[in-house]
Amino acid sequence: MNVWWRTLLTIWRAKTLLRRRGPLPPHTVGKVRLRTLPTDIDLLLHMNNGRYASLFDLGRFDLLIRTGLWDAMNAHDWYAVVASETVTFRKSLQLWQRFTVETRLLGHDDKAVYQIHRAVVGGEVYAEMIVRARFLRKSGGVVNTAELFEALGRPDDMPPLPAWVTDWASAAALPSTKAPAPSVWE
């Protein structure tokens, strides 16, 4: 079983929960239970560091669908892309170990939404990732966050971003796609 099957199962589960229970508030902590599979591990027999991002995507799908944002995006021909991310590892997930991906919206600025993902075992954080995601129009252009909340039909009741997240986003930013970005090593 690889991430494709897990993705399809996560989407199916989230859509079922949305139908049965209605949309969740945007600040809800979404939870997806998983197990470390042989396809997730590296030569050291623990979760490969690159696999965390793929499995955290499952938390993102779950939360987008269950908050109603997925349907709003599809209705407006929008899609989300990851603009930047950073991950911190604390403990290794071992083969066959059960864990939960916890996902929550952290806040937003005028162009991006920030999410936090955690790999959690028994209430203990093993890894944490901060993601800066932008919403784009299939016809071209960026969807600002005011338009995003308007499409959801909900007020923007998200707390302000912590200063360190704003500083990180600024420090990690690359030039826009319209500006030159030569690869020069100093």
Question: What's the pLDDT at 145?
Answer: 85
Q: Classify 145 as helix, strand or coil.
A: helix
What average pLDDT does the chain have? 92
CA distance 159 to 156: 9
Single-letter amino acid, residue 43: L
| Contact of 16 with 23, CB cutoff 8 Å | no
Q: Does the pLDDT value for residue 100 go beyond 80? A: yes
What's the predicted TM-score (pTM) here?
Answer: 0.90
**pLDDT greater at residue 154 or residue 5:** 5
Ranked by mean pLDDT, the top range of 24-28, 40-44, 63-67, 118-122 is 118-122
Q: Does the pLDDT value for residue 130 go beyond 90? A: yes
Characterize the bridge pairing of strands 98-108 and 124-137. unpaired
Q: Does the pLDDT value for residue 150 go beyond 90? A: no
Question: What's the pLDDT at 110?
Answer: 86
Least Cα distance to 152 among 59, 47, 72 occurs for: 72
Q: pLDDT tens digits, residue range 36-76? A: 999 999 999 999 999 999 999 999 999 999 999 899 999 99
